[in-house]
Amino acid sequence: MTPFRALVCATLLAFAVAVSAASPPDQRTAAAAATQNLAHDLLWRRALAAGFDDGTGASDPDRRQAAIDAYVGSRIRPVEPSEQALQARYRDLIGRTGPQEYRIRLLQSDDAAAVMRAHQRAKAGVPFAQLAGELSRVPSAARGGELGWVGFASPPTVGQTNGLPLEIARVLPHLAPGEVSEPLALADSWALVLLEAVRDTQRPSFESVRETLRALFLRESALAQARALGDEILREAMGSRP
């Protein structure tokens, strides 16, 4: 399956799941399968109408699939970004970084009392990595709480912290390397953060990331077109359902 057809099929599968959920329990599997088959048939008909097969693919699954892939490929033509668009995306990305980056470890749990005790143990000299491995309830616990280098615009604001909780981003500039924060109340949990090191933000030049930005634009364009084609097929399938 080509990547583009996979995107279209993902849209169709989502519709099939929705149809299944709306059907009586004893009919859901059949309803989802019927919708998927109909959508596939509609793609095949479009491939035929566009001249990607002479009809012999109807009895040859491989030819049928190749014709559908060719049709989907003909409909999805990523748009080349302008130099101005690349420069604007670069400025936006750079604008999301602040003057410094922080290497941190995190201990996060919904057990407030456990976080409070961990804070006291850290002050008593217990290694933070050990505490995070024992008590943290987020994936970084497996790495002793290590999150690596993080950075964000200054001052940190909602939605501009590169995935860090705002409460953590706000406290980092006020910690010294080697210092553990006070217990922090997050939206649905509690946290401690250890600041291991600080460095000036490593900002790449535009030329060094130009091709990466271009590839990102092309993928976004392809995704948008694949979703649009999937929506077209969905509308056709919905109109064809009994």
* Parallel, antiparallel or unpaired: strands 184-185 and 146-151: unpaired
Q: How far apart, in whole angstroms, are the C-alpha atoms of residue 236 and residue 187?
A: 43
Average pLDDT over residues 168-193: 96
Query: Once rounded to an integer, what is the mean pLDDT over residues 6-12?
Result: 55
Residue with tokens 């793609």: 43
Domain ranges of the chain: 3-80+210-240, 98-200
3.30.2320.80, 3.10.50.40, 3.40.50.720, 3.40.50.300: CATH of 98-200: 3.10.50.40
Supply the DSSP symbol for 125.
T
* pLDDT (tens digit per residue) in 32-57: 566 667 777 888 888 888 998 888 76
pTM: 0.57
Do the bridges between strand 184-185 and strand 100-109 make them parallel or antiparallel, or are there none, so unpaired?
Answer: unpaired
Is residue 67 very low, low, confident or very high in pLDDT (cuts 50, 70, 90)?
A: confident
Q: Which two tokens stand for residue 158?
A: 């909602």
Q: Of 31-35, 211-215, 216-220, 225-229, give the lowest mean pLDDT range.
A: 31-35
